[in-house]
Amino acid sequence: MKKIGILNSCISNVISKMGHNDMIAIGDCGLPIPDETMRIDLALIKNIPTFIDTLKAVLLELQIEEAIVAVETKDVSPSVFDAIKNEIDDVKITLVTHEELKNLLKDCKAVIRTGEQTPYANVILKSGVVF
């Protein structure tokens, strides 16, 4: 049995295979996920697991150099935007439209679907390096 870190085997597997500039997304339960992109569905019931709890878990294992967030998140759900900023510290945030973010999902290694039901609670994380 795995002793520490992410216990979900799908998430752990994707993160372990990510290289520099590879992308993984974490989204609310309404985010449309392209058929060609791996879906890791964690949604259980309303708001379980939450977007932020899932982000925190992923950030324990994934080195990132950029977060891509929809400008609508900042405007419509500022508490989610502030929580993202808080979790990623001084990592660069790139703002795009929600439509652009949805188009980028096809380039992600996977999309983790949470039970979150807050509008625009979505982020794409771009992998960095630890050296």
CB atoms within 10 A of CB 17: 10
Largest CA distance in the chain: 43
CB atoms within 10 A of CB 125: 27
Is 121 known to sit in a ligand binding site?
yes
Is 122 known to sit in a ligand binding site?
yes
Is 20 one of the annotated active-site residues of the chain? yes
Q: Which residues contact 65 (CB under 8 A, 6 or more apart)?
A: 21, 91, 92, 126, 127, 128, 129
Task: For residues 18 and 11, give the distance between their C-alpha atoms in angstroms, rounded to a whole number.
Answer: 11
Is 35 known to sit in a ligand binding site?
no
- Among the options 17, 20, 92, 106, which is catalytic? 20
Task: For residues 61 and 56, give the distance between their C-alpha atoms in angstroms, rounded to a whole number.
Answer: 9
State how far Cα 38 lies from the chain centre: 13
Q: Residues at the annotated binding site?
A: 28, 98, 120-122
Q: Residues at the annotated binding site for substrate?
A: 28, 98, 120-122
Residues forming the active site: 20
